[in-house]
Homo-oligomer: A and B are copies of this chain.
Amino acid sequence: MTDHEIFELGDFAFAGGTVPDVELAYRTYGELAADKSNAVLFPTWFAGTHTANEWLIGPDKALDTSRYFVIVPNMFGNGLSSSPSNTPAPYDRGRFPNVTILDNVTAQHRLITEHFGITRLALVTGASMGAAQSYQWATSYPDMVQRLASITGSSHTSPHNRVFLDGLRSALTADSAFADGDYSELPHRGLRAFSHVLAGWALSQAFYWERVYERLGFATLDDFLTGLWEPIFANTDANDLLSQIWTWEHADIGLTPGFDGDTIAALASITAEAVALPGERDLYFPPEDEAWAVGHMRNAKLSVVPGIWGHLSGGGHDPEAAAFIGNALRELLAR
């Protein structure tokens, strides 16, 4: 019993090399219309699987399953689609090739066209690394993407964001138990450090100042770190995390073939009706980056998600931010 389907990609050429029997795990919600006009693609974020997207999907949600056919493809490296942790030798662990956002979108495009026979997507949306995949879709397949909603993410990973990611990787791999990826047991100290470093970045200064963690049921900061953050990554495969970090670091629609590294030209090529939804206090995808991107797009507007939940504004955890994002998607779909 699984809660998802597998699309077999066969031999698949990732940026870092070709792997046989590559799998794309996905789940669908709702029914595809006879004319196939109601498909929404909603890729996953870092360390998340399709279930993490379900807060926006359902009969009473913005991605209304009585109306839309929602496809959630799992990002490579997340442990469900092909990943370091689930690929046999010689492509296992640290030997799994580097994967780009474009690789993910190329695989998803095959699922959408070959398996579903869909030629146009009513909306492509995603949060964080899901936003990077959405931007890539709108760049690689402009004729297929009618609408684009980038939630707490960006069109290319900024230099500061890369330093933030480098810090996460450095913390994780400072543990010698990591053993260059060939660990016999998970590098627990490294995973713990990873979760503690991320805790400072993922929420805003004001989230902590106002002690929102107390309202979430954690009496102290230590309880919040050990009770909420540590368990999230305690049993996560370290190579999977590092694979996804590499993907994240190298996200840039300017690297799409034909744009020669020119992110602005890639943004200008996007024809989708778009909305960018950065979190007001996001520390690694700050709103200014999306304001810049919107300034280079044809049909885009900026709509900053208010509140103090920082990057997690895009995760559905804060009811007000979740409602704001839901309304923005409804409005975009109504256009």
Contact = CB atoms under 8 A, between A and B. Distances in A.
A177 B162 CA distance: 27
Contacts of A286: 205
A203 B158 CA distance: 14
A219 interface: no
A51 interface: no
A199 interface: yes
A10 interface: no
- Interface size of A as a range: 35 or more
A4 to B, nearest CB: 33
How many protomers of this protein does the assembly include?
A: 2
Contacts of A205: 158, 160-161, 283-284, 286, 288-289
Interface stretch (A163-171, A239-247, A298-306): A163-171
A166 to B, nearest CB: 5
Contacts of A204: 160
A225 B171 CA distance: 14
A105 B192 CA distance: 35
Interface stretch (A79-87, A143-151, A207-215, A325-333): A207-215
Contact of A160 (B170, B172, B200): B200
Interface string A281-302: 0011010110000000000000
Contacts of A175: 174-176
A197 B171 contact: yes
Interface in A119-174: 158-164, 166-167, 170-174
5 contacts: A159-B209, A159-B221, A161-B205, A167-B199, A206-B288
Interface of A: 158-164, 166-167, 170-177, 189-190, 192-193, 196-201, 203-209, 211, 221, 225, 283-284, 286, 288-289
Q: Which 5 A/B pairs are nearest by Cβ-Cβ distance?
A: A160-B208, A159-B208, A167-B197, A170-B193, A174-B193
